[in-house]
Amino acid sequence: MAIFDPTIDSSDTIRATWAEVDLGALRRNFRLIREKISAARHVGMMLMVKANAYGHGLVEVTKALSDIADCVGVAVLEEGVLLRREGVNTPIIVMGGIWGDQIPHFIKHDLILSASSVDRLSQIDDAAKAMGRRATVHLKIDTGMERGGIHYFNAHKLQEAAIKCDSVDVLGVYSHFANADAEDLAHAKLQLERFQEVLAFYEKMSRPRPTAHMANSAALLRLPESYFDMVRPGLLLYGIYPSPNVPNNIGVSPAMTWKSRVVYFKVVPPDHPVSYGSTWKSDHPVRVVTIPVGYGDGYFRSMSNRSQVIINDRKHPQVGTICMDQLMVNIECDSAYNGDEVILLGSSESESITVEDMAVWANTVPYEVLTAINARVPRVYI
User: How far is 26 from 237, CA to CA, in rounded Å?
Assistant: 7
274 and 198 share a domain? no
129 and 269 share a domain? no
138 and 74 share a domain? yes
Q: Are 256 and 57 in contact (CB under 8 A)?
A: no
Catalytic residue among 164, 264, 276, 337: 276
User: How far is 254 from 20, CA to CA, in rounded Å?
Assistant: 11
Q: Are 202 and 170 in contact (CB under 8 A)?
A: no
Q: Is residue 62 part of a domain?
A: yes
Q: Is residue 168 part of a domain?
A: yes
Buried b (16+ CB within 10 A) or exposed e, 270-299: eeeebbeeeebebeeebbbbbbbbbbebbb
Q: Is residue 121 part of a domain?
A: yes
User: How far is 170 from 149, CA to CA, in rounded Å?
Assistant: 15
Q: Is residue 225 part of a domain?
A: yes
127 and 209 share a domain? yes
Looking at residue 3, its pLDDT comes to 42
276 and 127 share a domain? no
Looking at residue 228, its pLDDT comes to 96
Q: Domain limits at 309?
A: 256-381
Q: Are 149 and 182 in contact (CB under 8 A)?
A: no
Q: Which of 203, 238, 273 is the last residue of a domain?
A: 238
Catalytic residue among 36, 50, 140, 259: 50
CATH code, domain with 306: 2.40.37.10
Q: Is residue 224 part of a domain?
A: yes
Q: Which of 189, 209, 238 is the last residue of a domain?
A: 238
310 and 189 share a domain? no
Looking at residue 40, its pLDDT comes to 63
Bridge partners, residue 379, by sequence:
4, 19
50 is catalytic: yes
130 and 178 share a domain? yes
Residue 319, helix vs strand vs coil: strand
59 and 169 share a domain? yes
113 and 49 share a domain? yes
Q: Is residue 213 part of a domain?
A: yes
Q: Are 56 and 48 in contact (CB under 8 A)?
A: no
Number of folded domains that form the chain? 2
Along the 382 residues of the chain, how does pLDDT read in single tens digits? 444 444 444 445 578 999 999 999 999 999 999 999 987 678 999 999 999 999 999 999 999 999 999 999 999 999 999 999 999 999 999 999 888 799 999 999 999 999 999 999 999 999 999 999 999 999 999 999 999 999 999 999 999 999 999 999 999 999 999 999 999 999 999 999 999 999 999 999 999 999 999 999 999 999 999 999 999 999 999 999 999 999 888 999 999 999 999 999 999 999 999 999 999 999 999 999 999 999 999 999 999 999 999 999 999 999 999 999 999 999 999 999 999 999 999 999 999 999 999 999 999 999 999 999 999 999 999 9
Q: Which of 209, 238, 267 is the last residue of a domain?
A: 238
User: How far is 154 from 142, CA to CA, in rounded Å?
Assistant: 10
User: How far is 267 from 288, CA to CA, in rounded Å?
Assistant: 6
**What phi, psi does 64 have (nearest 5°)?**
-75, -25
Q: How far is CA 322 from the centre of its chain?
A: 25
Q: Is residue 5 part of a domain?
A: no
77 and 183 share a domain? yes
Measure the CA angle with vertex 203, ends 201 and 205; round to 5°.
Answer: 70
User: How far is 167 from 148, CA to CA, in rounded Å?
Assistant: 23
Looking at residue 100, its pLDDT comes to 77
328 and 204 share a domain? no
CATH code, domain with 199: 3.20.20.10
191 and 45 share a domain? yes
Looking at residue 4, its pLDDT comes to 41
Q: Is residue 245 part of a domain?
A: no
Q: For strand 314-319 and strand 150-151, is the pairing parallel, antiparallel, or unpaired?
A: unpaired
